[in-house]
Structure 1
Amino acid sequence: MNFMENELTVRQRKIIHIDMDAFYASIEQRDNPHYRGKPIAVGGSPEGRGGVVATASYEARKFGVRSAMPSKRAQQLCPDIIFVRPRFDVYKEVSVKIREIFYRYTDLIEPLSLDEAFLDVTVDKQNIGSAIEIATLIKQAIKDELQLTASAGVSVNKFIAKIASDMQKPDGLTFIGPSRIHTFMETLAVEKFFGVGKVTAEKMKKMGLHTGTDLKKLTENELVKHFGKAGRFFYKIVRGQDDRDVQPHRETKSVGAEDTFAYDLIEIDEMNTELDKLAVVISNRLQRHQLKGRTITVKIKFSDFKQITRSQSVVNAIDNLDTIASIARQLLAAADLENKKVRLLGISLSNFGEIVIRDKPDEIQDQLRLF
């Protein structure tokens, strides 16, 4: 190994996570002056008749409106909210333009969705050398050329960069360098850890685990005992260890959603109602990312934590709500649920065709991946 190869081997990675601010809503406010400064929700329906919110403007978020919230609830929280029909063709076009800005600095880009991506700028095309400066230039280009704002997180790995990008929204830039990582992770609330949902966070808090410092007190075996395979991830990440590479060409394998209930479900009607809610989320995600799948899988976890799945494949790829909900209900009905208590239900769609976005003509094609 020569000197240059050795230098690249030991060089600290420079990772940027770019996350657009209220992406869909911001585009609608940019393109329609009537929406500016007003609480809007992309997705859902007027008077909360159905559907869920895909993105809420910051004016709506002040009232507690959030993504994936039923529009009826959004209407209750913010009576003056304006529901806007999504224009995914426009969002995709803007996403491509954002990606073109990224390519000015690096080809190592891992898209997570239309509105966020990881960039590895350890070695950048313009020899700038500073990830902070590159993030600043990207944010400014997005603002100048597209009249939108983005937030950026800069660090030495993907996990820290992703958390950092959310710390000063909107239009923020947060750098967490090597010397700050251990202190940062120790003071981070457990619910801020990627992979820690509401149920896991509640379980951790009942165990007296409120911050990274608390998690750090447990051995890897203890974490695995309490949280399964995720325990190994928690053990590493609380110590700032994340060796995952930025992967430009990862393909979407499945799109899913699941929910753990506050109480065990016994009645099939209750279960069907919950499946319908999940089907809405799945359908919206598929259409947002322009994906269609041929295999639907329903996941059922019982009160004793035993788990089963039931799947069905169809000839023609689907993304529409009615079909997803109908097949999910059929799969649930086919499962033996007599005298069973259900604590979790999930739906996922897989077996996608090849969905490709062409970002740079005759040069690079990246496939969408959900994070």
Structure 2
Amino acid sequence: MRDRVIFLVDMQSFYASVEKADNPKLKDKPVIVSGDPERRSGVVLAACPLAKKWGVENATRLWEAQQKCPDAVIVRPRMQRYIDVSLQITEIFNRFTDLVEPYSIDEQFLDVTGSQRLFGTPREIAQKLRTAVMNETGINARVGMGPNKVLAKISCDNFAKKNKDGIFELNHSNMKEKMWPLAVGKMFGVGSRMNHHFLRMGIRTIGHLANFPLELLKKKWGINGQVLWQIANGIDDSPVTVKTHDQQKAIGHQMTLPRDYGTLEEIKVVLLELCTEVARRARFKGYMGSTVSMGVRGTSFDFPTGFHRQIKLMSPTNFDLDIYHAAEKLLLTHWDRQPIRSLGVTLSQLQSSENVQLNLFDYHLNKEELNRALDMVYSKYGKTAIVRASSLLAAGQAFHRAKKIGGHYK
């Protein structure tokens, strides 16, 4: 049986690359894509290689990036354009294989195992992919290759991005030499908190984790401990599938506020708007949810405050006021009454909205009729065709959010 050949293809500085491809005048200039600093969303979303040479990194505050690179050209994000280009790149990949799995807006997994007779060796396919993407979009793609998804991902993140040709293969024959010496924090699936735990246990490299007693990891972290041990040993049987995102686990919205919100009345205005949007999206996708999560972040970056809590509902819902009352309860219980700079709401434990257990005390049919009427108006006239009166107050953000996709301008 032929070994699988999996690619993880990443677009270099995707947002910034799109801007430079669309505007040739920016070709030789350092470009930073960032939110609107006047509305406190001034965080670096992408920096081109020229800006990164000055030490600019993603997720840093814009004013810090401008101090490091005073000559940088600041561009406001255009999310709809980035989505369109991402879909265009997916169409390019579909010419080489029908097994294309978007991992994020700028990363996609490909299974090219069955494409080799048509397009050549894995390296030849990778080169053809990169050439096609560059010629048609002007974006530099990097390809990590491996026998499975985790090795392809680690290959891309740690080696392909640093190679001149943008291609690297990581497999079981070179894994111990190339991957095991890497810091454990560079392994796919290891976040900052888990990295801290590993360092305290003396696990400093991926090789250390691969050779750590599996039973001890399982005893401490259960199935997650075993999964991380398997990744460190290059074990992953998960397929590349086009249906990965068909079943969502949660639907949520988070927002950075244009100023500090310090009163309960102000926060509740935005909270209701977020709950309305979460409910609308859940209905659009055909889901109801049984758990509501709510979180806020305080105003200080240096001394983070806030909370993130969840509550189980009596019955699944996709009605905005049901979600709002649950989130409001969490806010009243856990908020420390200090000003906040961001908040978010998530509906999880999703299930199909087609089958509902009726509750004599829930008035579900009345809610469903109201939702149907609202959604008809939303679909025909837009999300701001009907808003609650509270959204007309100074604290309201509904009209501003309607201009954005994923929290950024379209």
- Give me the whole-angstrom Cα distance separating, in 1, the residues matched to 2:325 and 2:51: 34
**Match status 1:154 vs 2:142:** no
Q: Is the 8 A contact 1:48 1:72 kept in 2?
A: no
Question: 1:239 is aligned with what amino acid?
Answer: N
Tell me the equivalent position of 1:119. 110
5 Å matches for 1:149-228? 149-166=140-157, 167-169=159-161, 172-228=166-222
- Give me the whole-angstrom Cα distance separating, in 2, the residues matched to 1:68 and 1:37: 23
**Match status 1:84 vs 2:80:** no
Larger radius of gyration: 2
Instruction: Give CA-to-partner distance per residue, 1:42-62, whole Å, 9 cap, x none.
Output: 232358943433222222223
Tell me the equivalent position of 1:13. 4
Partner of 1:298, secondary structure, is strand
Tell me the equivalent position of 2:232. 238
Q: Is the 8 A contact 2:9 2:109 kept in 1?
A: yes
Percent identity of the aligned residues?
Answer: 36
Tell me the equivalent position of 1:310. 311
Displacement of 1:329 in angstroms is: 7.6
Tell me the equivalent position of 1:335. 333
Displacement of 1:156 in angstroms is: 0.3
- Give me the whole-angstrom Cα distance separating, in 1, the residues matched to 2:288 and 2:77: 24
Relative to 1, partners in 2 of residues 1:48 and 1:248: Cα closer, same or farther, differing over 3 Å?
same
Q: Is the 8 A contact 1:47 1:72 kept in 2?
A: no
- Give me the whole-angstrom Cα distance separating, in 1, the residues matched to 2:45 and 2:325: 23
Structure 2 residues without counterparts, runs of 5 or longer: 255-261, 297-307, 337-342, 354-410
Partner of 1:310, secondary structure, is strand
Displacement of 1:349 in angstroms is: 5.4
**TM superposition score normalised by structure 1:** 0.68
Question: 1:333 is aligned with what amino acid?
Answer: L
Tell me the equivalent position of 1:250. 244
Instruction: Give CA-to-partner distance per residue, 1:72-98, whole Å, 9 cap, x none.
Output: 443444344333122222222222221
Once the two structures are overlaid, the 10-residue window that deviates more, 291-300 or 206-215, is: 291-300
Structure 1 residues without counterparts, runs of 5 or longer: 1-9, 259-267, 301-306, 318-323, 339-344, 355-371
Displacement of 1:131 in angstroms is: 1.5
**TM superposition score normalised by structure 2:** 0.63
Tell me the equivalent position of 1:110. 101
- Give me the whole-angstrom Cα distance separating, in 2, the residues matched to 1:292 and 1:80: 48
Q: Is the 8 A contact 1:50 1:72 kept in 2?
A: no
Q: Is the 8 A contact 2:116 2:122 kept in 1?
A: no
Question: 1:168 is aligned with what amino acid?
Answer: A
Pick the aligned partner of 2:136 from 122, 135, 145.
145
Tell me the equivalent position of 1:25. 16
Number of aligned residue pairs: give it. Answer: 304
Q: Is the 8 A contact 1:19 1:117 kept in 2?
A: yes
Relative to 1, partners in 2 of residues 1:30 and 1:328: Cα closer, same or farther, differing over 3 Å?
farther
